[in-house]
Structure 1
Amino acid sequence: MPTLCTNSNAAHSCTCLFGYLLTSPDAIASPLNPCLDIDECANTPGLCGLHSVCTNAPGTFHCSCVEGYFSSTGVLWETDFTVCESVDDVLAAIVPPEGQSKEMYFLNQMNQQLMENPDIVLPEGKVSGAGTISAQQASTGQGWSGAGKDGGESGSVVLKISVLLVNALVDPSQGRVNKTIHTPELDISLQVMEANSTDTSSLSARGHTMDINLKALARNNNGTASAVFLTVSGMESLLGASFLQTENHTEMLSDVITATLPKINHTQLSEPVNFTMSHKRDRGMEYENGTKGRHWSVNGCWVVFSDENYTVCSCSHLSTFALIMQTGEDNPFLEWVNRMCVIVGLVFFALAILTFLLCSWNPKINNTARLHLCLCLFLSHLLLLLDYTYLTHKLVCSIMAGLLHFLVVASFLWMLLEALQLYLLVQRLSRIQVIQREGLQKKYLFLIGYGIPLVIVGVSAAVKRDGYGGSKVCWLKPEQYFTWAVLGPVCTVLALNWILFCVTIWSLRPTLANMKSDVSQSKDTRLIIFKILAQFVILGCTWVLGLFQSTMVFKYLFIVLNSQQGTFLYIVHCLFNKEVRDEYRKWLGCSSSSSTPDSMPRSSTSGFFTCGII
């Protein structure tokens, strides 16, 4: 009961709090004579002034302006001082700084006032009115300098204002609360839940829903937690063109929705939040979320289910979300170029593998790493080429994605082992001035080249069992940064490779300086360094082009260079080798001479290279 009790001279008395009145004024406050709320709005007509609405509340009242009017003191209301003014009159009186429109200045002032009063509690009418006015000003402002032709800056400010306004709906002194606000511009759903509640937390706004475990959050926030889910009309146009910086034409497939956790200290989610978003159009789409700077991001969310009517997305954080539709069609010529280039690359991979298998190299060179590097790259390119055959089979796609993950990581590790073999070879050269076969034993090479990738894939699959697969390509799903299961090892290997190359070249500096240019040993050493360095540039640097896919030129460069890794490896390690070229000519001679009855296959040697059928 809203009473105040005091003790005086061994007696006590109870009175009603401000804003309340006793049922029977002649008796003291008691359970039989409770304090009742005073309806100030009914008792005092015109209490808030012209063009205003008075809303009664327990122990108090709230004033807000009618549609088309805004309070002279902003979102704060000062009794007996604040008046409601026409929005047009408010804008006409504004003198904005140079280079800023009146509408933008108005929005920034509202945003600043809300930020300076984070603990303010506002009535629904105030939130609805201020939110509606901000959305209208963002959508009707013309020629805003600094905002961009599409009003991207104004859209961002309106979203900030909307979040601050709905945060002000939460009164920490209240218990469980469910509030909804529906206007043509705003659709807001607020829920405050206690830790011991038996209800589920599901909020809806304009046909979209958010399912969140508020009870788990309440346990970490003094027994209560609040969540707000809202949409603001017109945001899909304001935040569309300036944020969707893609080559294909893109547009919003859904409303822009915002989810936030107001006035709670611990906002770490114990489990992902599910958003069910209705489609505006029946066309293909991609899910993107969150604004960072001037772009939409795809981090932290993944598609759980999608059909022609709605999409369910699961997110590990709360932010502003939308479904993005790409209306550009696939480029058949680009796909044809990619397929043809991959096929050519596979042919040269096969030639290199056959050369490494059927020919015995210079005994100074350990060929194991190079052979298995080509094998891993050949199989990974082949899986990508044939992914359309198993893309629609979920289980097979997941298995192939795991296998592709293994092969990619193994490829980079074999490249690292090749660089390590070179380093050990150079160390041997520096000590005794004679190149001999030096390096790790095969069992250690296989343990590192295939053992480490197997552990990485096994741990990744155990941590995220459904992390492999996809709807467009069988690969690692981007949810919760799972792609770092391959990016981490690859970046580490590339960094180690650069270090090994630098150390190797530095170690060779005094050796090469002491050698005469016409000494075969010097030529041999320089050729080895050139081949391995060229291999690293071919295999490592071509992947960098994958980061610049915003233009068609970089797309074609990436496809051509990355698909021709086998071609480059074959040219550098086979065609650039004089002994190999000599043996190719002898092989051709063997093939032509085998047409005579008395010809027999034979092996021959030339310099440091021996070739024969095994």
Structure 2
Amino acid sequence: MVGPHVTLNKMPRLGTTNSSVDIDLIGISKNNSERSAAVAFMSYVTMENLLKPDFNTSKDTIKMLSTVISATLPKTTNTTLTKPVNFTFRHIREFDPSGSLSCVYWNISEWIVDGCSVLKTNSSYTVCSCVHLSTFALIMRTSPPPESDPLLDLLNLVCVIVGLVFFSLALLTFALCQWSPGVNNVARINICISLLLAHLLLLLTENFLSFIRRQQVLCAVISGLLHFLFLSGFVWMFIEAVLLFICVKNLSKISSKKRKVLSTGFLCVIGYVVALVVECVSVGLVPEGYGSKHCWIKLDKGFIWSFLGPVCVILALNTILFINIVISLNSAFKSLNAEVSQIKQTKIMVFKTLAQCVVLGCSWILGFFTNDSKVLEILFLILNSQQGTFIFLIYCVLNNKVRHHSVYMCNLDVFTEVLFLFW
């Protein structure tokens, strides 16, 4: 309470274990003839179990996310609020980022959403702003998860397994074949390694999610590893684009100076350290950002942008490089001998275009538009899971130089035996 001779400029926050209130009691006292006012703030332990929400809904799940609190102005003549009152609730149950929060007050026999709004929220706390005093609580409404589609789940399992097989075949091709000095496969090898491990870990997580979800630390570690592996895959895609851009700019030869600057060790440092730095900065800013209910990045506090931000930047840079590559290729075609037919030029252009679209991760763009479309979701699932297949086809099967042994000499006997074992 405050009296007529109060010297405070701001009312201190009143708090309990799980909640607190900010109220302009000094301003209220100035509106009273006695120049005094009092506030009572109470928290009811376990009351949330008695005053359960009862809304008319058949599908949504509604639960109390806070303790029940009350605020009143006893022995105060004029109880008109000079400013909205802010209540801070600590979440006493698991917070679902996809849920809908409501600040409610108790009216005789039911909870009413009137005069209160959510000011801000995170995974631990929610601040409600109200224009009146009463008995308050925080309620969360969550929609049931979409029903599992057995055919879609089966398609996802088959596609991911097929993609993992072709990632492995691509890696075996790069390992068992002796490439010419002018061909730098370090980016392609590391793209395969990063995405192979990421898709394998994601597949295992999806199949054992019920067990992993109970181990919060394990779930957070897995989401951190997935974040790192997918980010490093994108960084290696960007490195591949840079290497291809250099090759196109120097179609006649690749100077020894460029090969020295873009050494394997230098590329490996860039490919993995950049992703590691992004993840460390993300953890430093939001330590609790990993370990959602799907063992992935949490959506609250904007932490998802620790993944989407670098991805968008890399896709934008790859698009710029891709445009420059097309322009450079077009200029190179114009300078070719007149005996080269237009059909051959078109085939080369289509091959390069297809390679860029697949290797540089253009299929990920579909991921931004799959929320409301089943067709786009299936298309994204197929394209994203088959990156290993596309890499194997483009760089190991459909490459004319590879088939005619003009770029490298393969140990065909060993490679044939490996293929036989896989199939």
TM-score range, shorter chain: 0.5 to 0.7
Report 1:173-252 matches (<5 A).
195-196=11-12, 199-200=14-15, 211-212=19-20, 214=22, 250-252=59-61
Report 1:247-286 matches (<5 A).
250-254=59-63, 264=83, 273-275=89-91
How many Å apart are 1:460 and its aligned residue?
1.6
Q: Name which one, 1 or 2, has greater alpha-carbon Rg.
A: 1
* Counterpart code for 1:541: S
Which one is further off, 438-447 or 497-506? 438-447
Q: Which runs of 5+ in 2 are unaligned?
A: 4-8, 31-36, 44-51, 70-80, 104-117, 131-137, 416-423
- Give the 3-state SS of the residue equivalent to 1:469 in structure 2: coil
CA contact (8 A) 2:223 2:295 kept: yes
**Number of residue equivalences:** 349
* Counterpart code for 2:407: F
Structure 1 residues 530 and 212: CA distance shift in structure 2, 3 A: same
How many Å apart are 1:274 and its aligned residue?
2.3
Structure 1 residues 348 and 536: CA distance shift in structure 2, 3 A: closer
* Counterpart code for 1:455: V
CA contact (8 A) 2:223 2:291 kept: yes
- Identical residues among aligned pairs (%): 29
2:99 maps to which of 273, 282, 287: 287
> In the aligned structure 2, how far is the partner of 1:533 from the partner of 1:417?
12
- Give the 3-state SS of the residue equivalent to 2:250 in structure 1: helix
* Counterpart code for 1:567: T
Confirm or deny that 1:385 pairs with 2:184: no
CA contact (8 A) 1:299 1:481 kept: no
CA contact (8 A) 2:364 2:380 kept: yes
Structure 1 residues 499 and 289: CA distance shift in structure 2, 3 A: farther
Residue aligning to 1:315: 126
How many Å apart are 1:428 and its aligned residue?
1.8
> In the aligned structure 1, how far is the partner of 2:129 from the partner of 2:307?
26
2:314 maps to which of 493, 496, 500: 493
Structure 1 residues 350 and 483: CA distance shift in structure 2, 3 A: same
- Give the 3-state SS of the residue equivalent to 1:406 in structure 2: helix
CA contact (8 A) 1:253 1:285 kept: no
Q: With CA pairs under 8 Å and 6+ residues apart, which has the higher RCO, 1 or 2? A: 2
Q: CA RMSD in A?
A: 4.6
* Counterpart code for 1:495: A
Confirm or deny that 1:418 pairs with 2:240: yes
1:397 maps to which of 219, 227, 230: 219
CA contact (8 A) 1:175 1:194 kept: no
Confirm or deny that 1:483 pairs with 2:314: no
> In the aligned structure 2, how far is the partner of 1:326 from the partner of 1:434?
60
CA contact (8 A) 1:401 1:475 kept: yes
CA contact (8 A) 2:119 2:129 kept: no
CA contact (8 A) 1:361 1:609 kept: yes
Structure 1 residues 200 and 401: CA distance shift in structure 2, 3 A: same
> In the aligned structure 2, how far is the partner of 1:542 from the partner of 1:299?
34
> In the aligned structure 1, how far is the partner of 2:382 from the partner of 2:369?
15
Deviations 1:342-371 (A, max 9, x none): 111100111111111221334332111111
Residue aligning to 1:342: 160
* Counterpart code for 2:176: L
Deviations 1:543-575 (A, max 9, x none): 423532223323322222211111112112211
2:172 maps to which of 354, 358, 369: 354
Structure 1 residues 276 and 402: CA distance shift in structure 2, 3 A: closer
CA contact (8 A) 1:398 1:474 kept: yes
* Counterpart code for 2:201: L
> In the aligned structure 1, how far is the partner of 2:59 from the partner of 2:122?
19
**Under a length normalisation based on structure 2, what TM-score does the superposition of the two structures give?**
0.68
* Counterpart code for 2:175: L
* Counterpart code for 1:500: L
* Counterpart code for 1:288: S
* Counterpart code for 1:343: I
Confirm or deny that 1:529 pairs with 2:355: no
CA contact (8 A) 1:254 1:323 kept: yes
Q: Which runs of 5+ in 1 are unaligned?
A: 1-173, 177-192, 203-209, 241-248, 279-283, 292-297, 305-313, 583-605
Structure number with higher strand proportion: 1
* Counterpart code for 1:211: S
Deviations 1:130-187 (A, max 9, x none): xxxxxxxxxxxxxxxxxxxxxxxxxxxxxxxxxxxxxxxxxxxx969xxxxxxxxxxx
> In the aligned structure 1, how far is the partner of 2:248 from the partner of 2:82?
64
Structure 1 residues 559 and 335: CA distance shift in structure 2, 3 A: same
